[in-house]
Amino acid sequence: MSKYPHPIQTVTLALTGASGMPYGIRLLECLLQSGKTVWLLYSQAAQVVAQQEMSLTLPASAAACQTLLCEKFNVRPTQLRVFGKDEWFAPPASGTNPADAMIICPASMGVVAAVAHGTSDHLIERAADVCLKERRPLVIVPREAPLSTLHLENLLKLSRLGAVILPPAAGFYHHPQTIDDLIDFVVARILDQLHIPHTLMPKWGE
């Protein structure tokens, strides 16, 4: 996956119903700031988590959510497109028009299991399935503790299929002073996987 030869321009970002929504929203902000086109997908459970953890209301309507987030991050709808879970004609649903990469952040264990077993009941799962079959980078940021044997087996299966498993485990060697510093550490690691430049924190040794 890391040897994908083309620069990343379009990213599918999926928000699911695991704790850790600040990682996903900060990642969305950074992708947009870097000029990437983002195709955003989110589950109903993600709406609940966003409200609980960030007091952020993600409308049930994809169109309303797109309007809200485009205004929030001051970008055009051509740069940020939001799709509903049953929009099977959305670009990420087909291998004929996939994104250059996909990130699931945060990734619930339910979505991890569905992707690992190829059920593709909703657009998030189908988009991940497309990334795997088309050999596009897929970064999964699982948020659960502790991990059961079943969780570990599903994550191992996805790793063997080529996905990058990147738990949101913040480091402390950069002497974080705020929660935002810890969030940025994880987001920086995600962006590094896709070779997307950032200034969230210095590289090791610099």
Whether 19 has a binding-site annotation, put simply, is yes
For residue 12, is pLDDT > 80? yes
pLDDT in tens, 47-92: 999 999 999 999 999 999 999 999 999 999 999 999 999 999 999 9
pLDDT in tens, 111-170: 999 999 999 999 999 999 999 999 999 999 999 999 999 999 999 999 999 999 999 999
**Residue whose entry in the numeric block shows the structure tokens 């593709």:** 120
Whether 61 has a binding-site annotation, put simply, is no
Whether 189 has a binding-site annotation, put simply, is yes
pLDDT band, residue 1 (cuts 50/70/90): very low
Whether 160 has a binding-site annotation, put simply, is no
pLDDT in tens, 13-56: 999 999 999 999 999 999 999 999 999 999 999 999 999 999 99
Say if pTM beats, i.e. exceeds, 0.85.
yes
Whether 26 has a binding-site annotation, put simply, is no
Query: Rg for the chain (alpha carbons), in Å?
Result: 16
Whether 43 has a binding-site annotation, put simply, is yes
Whether 35 has a binding-site annotation, put simply, is no
Question: What structural domains does the chain harbor?
Answer: 12-193 (3.40.50.1950)
